[in-house]
């Protein structure tokens, strides 16, 4: 069943909302952890806020955008607001398992040994959240430029530029560490 079909069912019967939770809970939890490096309790709270907001605003969802992009946008906004509010520091965080469930194309493309992959994970923590976010969306969440532009509310070309700059920043951080 497609996301749009699920949304239509939920709009008719709110008790069907569990299908959305079942489909997106793990994905959103992983995404939020990757961009925020929050502790599990905060991630659980953020995921819950995302689903509450989704439930409350589902009537305003337009199939002009994919449902996936729409819910990721809510998750993005909630997480960025939380980071700003809590002034989260990204030091002393080690969440390697966050990167194990995805395709890890970025790390595979770089054909790195395990210790090099760990260096990349550490470098991602040092990046500005907008760059870390775009790398996570593209490489770890496997979102297209169009989906990224929908999630971040930027143009497709700006998504490409941000990804280019993010990769350049990542290389710079890795080079400076040597």
Question: In CATH, what number is assigned to the domain containing residue 37?
Answer: 1.10.1740.10
Helices vs strands, H then E, count in the chain? 9, 0
Last residue of a domain, one of 58, 73, 88: 88
Which has the minimum average pLDDT: 7-16, 70-79, 120-129? 120-129
Give 152's DSSP letter. Answer: H
On whether both 83 and 126 belong to a single domain, the answer is no
Which of residues 69, 88, 107 is at a domain's end? Answer: 88
Angle, to 10 degrees, between the axis of helix 67-86 and the axis of helix 145-152? 50
> What pLDDT score does 74 carry?
96
CA distance 99 to 95: 8
Whether residues 95 and 76 fall in one domain: no
Percent of the chain clearing pLDDT 70 (strictly above): 83
pLDDT at 48 over 90: yes
Domains contained in the chain, number: 2
The pLDDT, as a whole number, for residue 87 is: 67
Residues 97 and 81 in one domain: no
Same domain (yes/no): 64, 106: no
Q: What are phi and psi of 70, to 5 degrees?
A: -65, -45
Answer with the one of 59, 88, 117 that is the final residue of a domain: 88
Task: For residue 100, give the CATH number of its domain.
Answer: 1.10.10.10
> 36-40, 71-75, 141-145: which range is least confident on average?
36-40
Helix, strand, coil percent content, the chain, rounded in steps of 5? 80, 0, 20
How large is the average pLDDT for residues 112-116? 62
Query: Same structural domain for residues 144 and 72?
Result: no
pLDDT-derived band at 60 (thresholds 50, 70, 90) equals very high
Q: Where in the sequence is the domain holding 166, given as residue range(s)?
A: 91-178
From 4, 33, 36, select the one nearest 20 (Cα to Cα).
Answer: 4
Average pLDDT, the chain: 84
């Amino acid at each position: 069943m497609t996301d749009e079909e699920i949304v239509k069912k939920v709009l008719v019967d709110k008790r069907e909302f569990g299908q959305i939770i079942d489909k997106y809970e793990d994905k959103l939890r992983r995404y939020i952890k990757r961009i925020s490096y929050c502790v599990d309790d905060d991630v659980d709270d953020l995921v819950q806020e995302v689903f509450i907001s989704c439930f409350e605003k589902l009537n305003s969802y337009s199939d002009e955008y994919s449902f996936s992009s729409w819910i990721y946008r809510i998750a993005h906004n909630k997480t960025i607001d939380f980071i700003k509010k809590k002034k989260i520091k990204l030091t002393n965080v080690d969440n390697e398992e966050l990167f194990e469930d995805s395709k890890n194309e970025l790390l595979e493309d770089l054909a790195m040994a395990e210790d090099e992959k760990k260096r990349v994970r550490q470098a991602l923590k040092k990046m500005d959240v907008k760059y870390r976010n775009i790398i996570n969306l593209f490489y770890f969440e496997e979102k297209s430029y169009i989906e990224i532009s929908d999630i971040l509310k930027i143009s497709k070309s700006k998504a490409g530029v941000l990804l280019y700059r993010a990769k350049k920043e990542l290389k710079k951080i890795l080079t400076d560490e040597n």
